[in-house]
Amino acid sequence: MEKVIRFVEDNQQRNLDDLMEILRIPSISSSTEYKPEVVRCADHLAMRMHETGAARVDVFPTEGHPIVYSEFGAGRAKPTVLVYGHYDVQPVDPVDLWTSPPFEPQVRDGRLYARGATDDKGQLYTHLKAVQAYLRTVGDLPVNVKFIVEGEEEVGSTSLEGFLRAHKEMLAADWVVISDTPMFGKNMPSICYGLRGICYMEIGVKGPGMDLHSGSFGGIVPNPVNVLCEIIASMKDKAGRVQIPGFYDDVIQISQEEREALARLPLDTETLRAAAGVKQLTGELGYTDLERMWARPTLDCNGIWGGYSGEGAKTIIPSWAKAKISMRLVANQDPEKIAELFAHYVREVAPASIGIEVRSLHGGKGFLTPIEHPAVKAAARALERAFGVRTLYIREGGSIPFVATIHEIFRTPCLLVGFGHPEENSHAPDEHMYLDHYFSGIKAAAILYQELSLL
Nearer to a copy of itself, 58 or 202 (CB): 202
| 222 scored as a contact of a copy of itself (CB under 8 A) | yes
Catalytic residue among 37, 88, 152, 154: 88
Would you mind telling me the total number of residues written for the chain in this entry? Answer: 455
* Rounded Cα–Cα distance for residues 92 and 430 (Å): 9
Q: Are strands 111-113 and 197-206 parallel, antiparallel or unpaired?
A: unpaired
Three-state secondary structure call for residue 276: helix
Three-state secondary structure call for residue 355: strand
- The yes-or-no answer on residue 431 being catalytic is no
CB 120 within 8 A of CB 179: yes
* Cα distance from N-terminal residue to C-terminal residue, the chain: 17
- The yes-or-no answer on residue 340 being catalytic is no
| 116 scored as a contact of a copy of itself (CB under 8 A) | no
* Rounded Cα–Cα distance for residues 159 and 402 (Å): 10
Binding mask 326-365 for a copy of itself (x = CB under 8 A): x-x----------------------xxxxx-----xx---
Among 47, 55, 95, 281, binds a copy of itself (CB under 8 A): 281
Nearer to a copy of itself, 201 or 448 (CB): 201
Closest approach of a copy of itself to the CB of residue 156, in Å: 6
Binding mask 245-264 for a copy of itself (x = CB under 8 A): --------------------
Residue 71 forms beta bridges with which residues? 56, 146
Closest approach of a copy of itself to the CB of residue 1, in Å: 34
Closest approach of a copy of itself to the CB of residue 256, in Å: 20
| Among 9-17, 124-132, 164-172, 200-208, the segment contacting a copy of itself (CB under 8 A) | 200-208
Among 142, 182, 335, 401, binds a copy of itself (CB under 8 A): 182
Nearer to a copy of itself, 66 or 156 (CB): 156
Nearer to a copy of itself, 4 or 329 (CB): 329
Among 14, 140, 186, 216, binds a copy of itself (CB under 8 A): 216
Instruction: Name residues whose C-beta falls within 8 Å of residue 62's C-beta, 6 or more positions apart in sequence.
Output: 152, 159, 162, 163
Nearer to a copy of itself, 145 or 195 (CB): 195
Give ∠ CA 239-243-247 in degrees, rounded to 5: 115
Among 310, 370, 372, 411, binds a copy of itself (CB under 8 A): 310
Catalytic residue among 152, 153, 291, 396: 153
Please list the alpha-helical segments (H only) found in 1-64.
2-10, 12-23, 35-52
- Quote the DSSP letter at residue 426: T
| 101 scored as a contact of a copy of itself (CB under 8 A) | no
| Among 77-85, 131-139, 298-306, 405-413, the segment contacting a copy of itself (CB under 8 A) | 298-306
* Rounded Cα–Cα distance for residues 65 and 42 (Å): 9
Binding mask 14-33 for a copy of itself (x = CB under 8 A): ----------------xxx-
| 160 scored as a contact of a copy of itself (CB under 8 A) | no
Nearer to a copy of itself, 77 or 233 (CB): 233
Three-state secondary structure call for residue 178: strand
Nearer to a copy of itself, 255 or 353 (CB): 353
| 293 scored as a contact of a copy of itself (CB under 8 A) | yes
* Rounded Cα–Cα distance for residues 151 and 160 (Å): 9
Task: Report CA Rg, the chain.
Answer: 23
Among 280, 370, 372, 411, binds a copy of itself (CB under 8 A): 280
| 217 scored as a contact of a copy of itself (CB under 8 A) | yes
Helix axes 12-23, 35-52, angle to 10 degrees: 150
Among 133, 160, 198, 262, binds a copy of itself (CB under 8 A): 198
**Residue 403: CA count within 13 A, CB half-sphere:** 27
- Quote the DSSP letter at residue 121: I
Closest approach of a copy of itself to the CB of residue 426, in Å: 5
* Rounded Cα–Cα distance for residues 262 and 305 (Å): 38
| 437 scored as a contact of a copy of itself (CB under 8 A) | no
* Rounded Cα–Cα distance for residues 18 and 126 (Å): 11
Instruction: Name residues whose C-beta falls within 8 Å of residue 119's C-beta, 6 or more positions apart in sequence.
Output: 89, 90, 180, 420, 424, 426, 427, 431
Task: Report, as residue numbers or ranges, the catalytic residues.
Answer: 88, 153
